[in-house]
Amino acid sequence: MTLIDTHAAVGADRLVVRYRKRTALAGIDLDLGPGVHGLLGPNGAGKSTLMRVLATVTSPTEGSVQVAGVNPASPGRARDARRRLGYLPQAFGFYPRFTVREFVEYFAWLKEVPGPQIPLAVQRAIDRVDLGARADEQLRRLSGGMVRRVGIAQAIVNDPDVLLLDEPTAGLDPEQRLDFRALVRELGVDACVLVSTHLVEDVAVACHDVVLLQDGRLVFTGTPDELVARADTDAPGDTDVERGYTSVLRAARRSPR
């Protein structure tokens, strides 16, 4: 079991990502194991960039990352990492004329799930996101929330050790978000799940710990309770977690780099 646990992890070592002149990530050190980790931060803080680097879609400008126990800098290692990876990007592009089953099956194949296991793996993934009844409908006939769930299904079809979900709750109604939290908690039992979201409440309920980014820097890591404890009494926010969130961001803005 220990062998498997080492795979259910992501890490970053002095990670810097620059797009031309703009610095998206300015030196991130991160070490996350199995469990559900919430990635919070204002727009433009670098959440999606961090997701993309961990998903091996973007390369670090400086520093390195570890994904599922390997450094994906070389093509061979990247392939090893990608086999154990599930990724739902923020801009989830899909093929409207594919059926749910075809789409998930296509990604099972791209992820090198062995041929004989594909039908069961696809059925399992579709069941887990509760789309069994719509499995043979085209994606264009599904609602936005259902399409998101198809995106989650393709991410989990290879039983990933590392699951990266970028704004997965966008477009889900409140009830679906409850189902989603339950699914994520279950996945987090044996995988390293990193969920980026702008909904602070999601993180408080569904995540074991919180990673907070601002301006490409890590300004907080800890449990949701620890985030609550950081709340100033005068901080804006409707809940304790939100007040903790805004307090940490204000403190980070004030402190010199």
Give the dihedral sign, CA 75/81/82/83: positive
Q: Which one of 76-84, 168-176, 197-205, 241-249 is the stretch in contact with another protein (CB under 8 A)?
A: 76-84
Residue 79 makes contact with another protein by CB under 8 A: yes
Cα separation, 188 vs 38, in Å, equals 11
> Shortest CA distance to 210 belongs to which of 235, 187, 241, 236?
241
Beta strands in 89-229 (DSSP E): 162-166, 192-196, 209-214, 217-222
Residue 92 makes contact with another protein by CB under 8 A: yes
With CB under 8 A as the contact rule, the residue among 63, 98, 208, 232 that binds another protein is 98
Site string for another protein, 209-248 (x = CB under 8 A): ----------------------------------------
Q: Which is nearer to another protein, 107 or 245 (CB)?
A: 107
Residue 119 makes contact with another protein by CB under 8 A: yes
Beta strands in 33-149 (DSSP E): 35-40, 62-67, 85-88
Q: What is the CA radius of gyration of the chain?
A: 18
**Which residues are at the interface with another protein (CB under 8 A)?**
1, 4, 7, 52, 55-57, 75, 79-80, 82-85, 87-89, 91-98, 101-103, 105-115, 117-120, 122-124, 127-130, 132-133, 135, 151, 154, 159, 183, 186, 189-190
